[in-house]
Structure formats: C-alpha cells, structure tokens
Amino acid sequence: MLKKYGMVTTFLISLFLLSNGYAEAPDIVKLALLDGPYKEMPLVPYLSEYEKAYFAGVEVAAKIAKKYNVEIKYKSFLYGKGSLDILAEIPKISQWQPDLIIGPNSSDQVLLLRNYFPNVMVLSAYASGDALQSLPKNFYSTFLPDSRIMELLSKFVKTKFPQRNIYIIVQTDCKQCVDASRLFIANHKKISSATKITENKLIMDDIKSIDSRRLMVGHTDDVILVFNDAYYAYNVFVTHIISSFPNKDLIFISDQDNWSNEVDGQVHKFDLTYESYRIGPILFDNNLLEFKNFSEAYYQNYNKKPSDAISYLTYRTILSAIEALHQFHPSILNKNMRERVLYSYFAALQKNPDWFRSNAYGIYRLTSKGEVLVEKLSIS
C-alpha cells in the first residue's frame, strides 16, 4: 500500500513540475558576438558607450529567450579597425564552436567571412550591401538590402529636391559604399532622367587633409549624398566641409544608420546652418508589441528606458533566431543545437524572405539636440 501511495505521489509531483515548466531543461544556445566597435566609434569616451549599448541588447535578448526556455551563453570576439583584423578572430570562434554567430555590422566585413563557418548561422543587424546575396544561405542580415533602400532614398530626393542636381561622394575603399552609389544612380535615372548626377570617389581615411573648397567646386547648390562606411565618420566629414562654407546652406544625405540615440519624440528646431538627412528604419515604435516587450525587459534590467538603436537592433537580430527555433522545430529531434538553429532559420526564411526585417523606414533630419523623424517612407 505504501509503495502504491509512493508511486501516486511521484506521479503527482512530476505532473506539477511539468505544468509549471520546470521539468524540461532549457535549450542552450552558444552565441558568438563578432563585432568591430573600434571602427564604428574610434573615440575612446564614446567607445565604451557603444559597447554598453551593444551588450545591453544582448542581455535583454537573453532575458526574453528564457521565456522560450532557451538559455543564451555568449562570448564576444571584438576586433580592431583594420580592414582585415576580423580574420584573426575566426580560429578563436571556430575553436569555441558556437551554435549561432551575430556577425559584423559592416557589409564589407561580412563578405570576408564567405569561406568560413559553413555549418553555422551567421546573422548581421546592420549589413545592407547587395553583394551579401552572393553569400551561402547561412548568412543573413535583418537589415533591408541596399537595392531597396536606394529605391526609397531616390524617391525622397526626387520629391524633396526636384530642381537640384546631385553630387555623390563615395568612399572608394568601401565596396558597400561603391555599390550603394551605383544602385542609387540607376534608380534615380529611372525616375528622373534629366537630373544631373556627378560622382566623386575618394579616400576618406584622413578627413582633415581633404581640401573642402576644391572638392565642392561647382557643387555647393547640389544635394550632396555621402556614401561612407560609418555614420560617425559621416558627421565628421560634414563638419569638415561646412567649416569652409559658413554662409552656405549645404544639403547632405547619408545612408548610414545611427547606432546611437534614437529619436526622442520631442520637436526640435532645425537650427543648424546646413541640412543633414539620414535614411533608416523606424525602430522605437511604442505601438508595436515587439518593442514594448523589449522596452519592458530593458527597463527591468537597467531601470531606464532604452535610447540607443544598436541595443534594439542587436536584440531583434538575436531574437530572430530564438523565434525561428520556437516556430519551426526540426523533424529530427536529435539534431544538435547548431543544426537546429540552421534548420529553423532556413524554414523561417522560406516562409518569409524578409524575416525580422523592419517594414517601416523613414528620413531623419539632424538638429543641434538630436535627430527628428521628418518623413515616413512606404516600402514596396
């Protein structure tokens, strides 16, 4: 009789544990973080802010992942600002054997990984170069491709500045920049064939050495598009140029996304002596459940509201893999975690080729107190 009661008790305890989600051990995902913060933000005081914002996104993703019964164990592999520095981290990552890699934010850096990591999912939060489409299918960016971004940007320029010529300044040693310029020109010629477009390719390693007046001869009344590899460097470049034209209302546009503060929702005066615009995704939307979940978890971790775009984009990129795991289970249950991540992500992309990509883009204008969203763009 005691034995029978013991069996019943054991059964009831097991049933209780199952109903409360404690019986099943969490799935462990080893996440490698491959990033080059020194290229995005070379100044030391701001570098630490970049890293804090980046890892805040990772920590919030790990917090949310627990709701899916997934435990994220991550390790960072940070490389320097040299164009090939990333390659030194590859053997270290291979030795650690991650299940998932959140790769570089630079398209050119992602392309360097073409012949590595054949059996692990590699995701990027910011890379947008169209050349990424030539990579193996285990490479994916949650950022919209440049072909579609340039189409949006071209329409904005035509509508906003219909009577102005266009002057494009391109960082010549940046493949993504050169490709983006080519895509923009092709798009703009389709919708505004009469517009004069001039392209100037140059090295931008030492911005202070650039002769601003010589560079801008005949183009001070044009819309100036700058295709370079980092938004921080874009702002340094613009500041350098306008110093030579204090009484001229120059117009600049960038395609680089801002990792730092998101628009705060306040109305700021357009008080700069020049106009500076940027195209990018609309991220901090309180009407979206996804952002609300992120914002609440962020507040629980840091006792403040999120403010940096890179926190949210990094979070979303990691969550894209966790959500894929949740929605698309492998038919063979004994697959290891790396195989499960690959299988589920491929299934997600088959269902939706734009898996976790933002469907809301906008034009931001710079003021002395931050950026202001001035126009929402319709994505086709």
Q: Are 120 and 153 members of one domain? A: no
Does some domain include residue 269?
Answer: no
Q: What is the DSSP string of 269-299?
A: ---SSSEEEEEEE----TTSHHHHHHHHHHH
The average pLDDT across 214-235 equals: 94
pLDDT of 287 over the 90 cut: no
Give the whole-angstrom CA distance, residue 247 versus residue 251.
13
Q: What is the mean pLDDT of residues 193-213?
A: 94
132-156 per-residue burial string, b: 16 or more CB within 10 A, e: under 16 = beebeebbbbbbbbbbbbbbbbbbb
Q: Which of 23-37, 62-76, 178-192, 236-250 is predicted least confidently?
A: 23-37
User: Is 109 part of a structural domain of the chain?
Assistant: yes
Q: How many percent of the chain have pLDDT more than 70? A: 87
Q: Please report, as a single letter, which amino acid is at residue 29.
A: V
Question: Mind listing the pLDDT tens digit for each residue in 115-137?
Answer: 999 999 999 999 999 999 999 99
pLDDT at 330 over 90: no
Examine residue 373 and state whether it is found in any structural domain, yes or no.
no
Q: Give the three-state DSSP class for 232.
A: helix
Across 38-42, 176-180, 268-272, least confident range: 38-42
* Residue 305, pLDDT above cutoff 50: yes
| Whether residues 101 and 121 fall in one domain | yes
Measured CA angle at 121 (ends 47, 327), to 5 deg: 110
| pLDDT number for residue 90 | 96
Q: Is residue 179 part of a domain?
A: yes
The count of C-alpha atoms lying within 13 angstroms of the C-alpha of 293, restricted to the half-sphere facing its C-beta, is 12
Position 18 in a domain: no
**Region 308-321 average pLDDT:** 95
Backbone dihedral region of 218: left (phi > 0), alpha (psi from -120 to 50 degrees) or beta?
A: left
Q: What CATH number did the domain enclosing 193 receive?
A: 3.40.50.2300
Structural domain range at position 234: 146-256
Mean pLDDT of 271-299: 91
Local structure of 34: helix, strand or coil: strand
- Inform me whether the pLDDT recorded for 300 exceeds 70: yes
Average pLDDT, the chain: 88
Contact (Cβ atoms closer than 8 angstroms) between residue 294 and residue 306: yes
- Asked whether residue 134 falls in the same domain as residue 183, the answer is no
pLDDT given at position 23: 52
Domain membership of residue 374 (yes or no) is no
My answer on whether 150 and 135 are in the same domain is no
Does residue 5 have a pLDDT over 50?
no
Place of tokens 């874009």: 234
Report pLDDT for 1: 47
Predicted pLDDT of residue 255: 92
The CA distance from 104 to 63, in Å, is 23
How distant, in Å, are the alpha carbons of 141, 352, 362 from that of 358? 11, 13, 11
Query: Does 355 or 260 have the greater pLDDT score?
Result: 355
pLDDT at 358 over 50: yes
Q: What is the pLDDT of residue 38?
A: 57
The DSSP output letter for 360 is: -
pLDDT at 9 over 90: no
Torsion 51-57-63-68 (CA) sign = negative
Is 55 a residue whose pLDDT tops 60? yes
Do residue 38 and residue 114 come from a single domain? Answer: yes
> What was the pLDDT predicted at 268?
56
Radius of gyration of the chain, Cα coordinates, nearest whole angstrom? 24
At 73 the pLDDT is 98
Summarize the confidence of residues 223-237 as an average pLDDT: 92
pLDDT the model gives residue 368: 81
Ramachandran assignment for 32, one of left (phi > 0), alpha (psi -120 to 50 degrees), beta (any other): beta
Chain-centroid distance of CA 359 in Å reads 14
Domain count, the chain: 2
Residues 86 and 128 both lie in one domain:
yes
Statement: residue 63 has pLDDT above 90: yes
Residues of the chain with pLDDT > 90, as a percent, come to: 69
Mean pLDDT to the nearest integer, 247-267: 76
Q: 3-state DSSP call for residue 256?
A: coil
Which of residues 368 and 244 earns the better pLDDT score?
A: 244
Query: Residue 41 pLDDT > 80, yes or no?
Result: no
d(CA 212, CA 235): 14
Among 203, 234, 256, where does a domain finish?
Answer: 256
pLDDT on residue 4: 43
Q: Which of 87, 57, 243, 223 is nearest to 156 (CA)?
A: 223
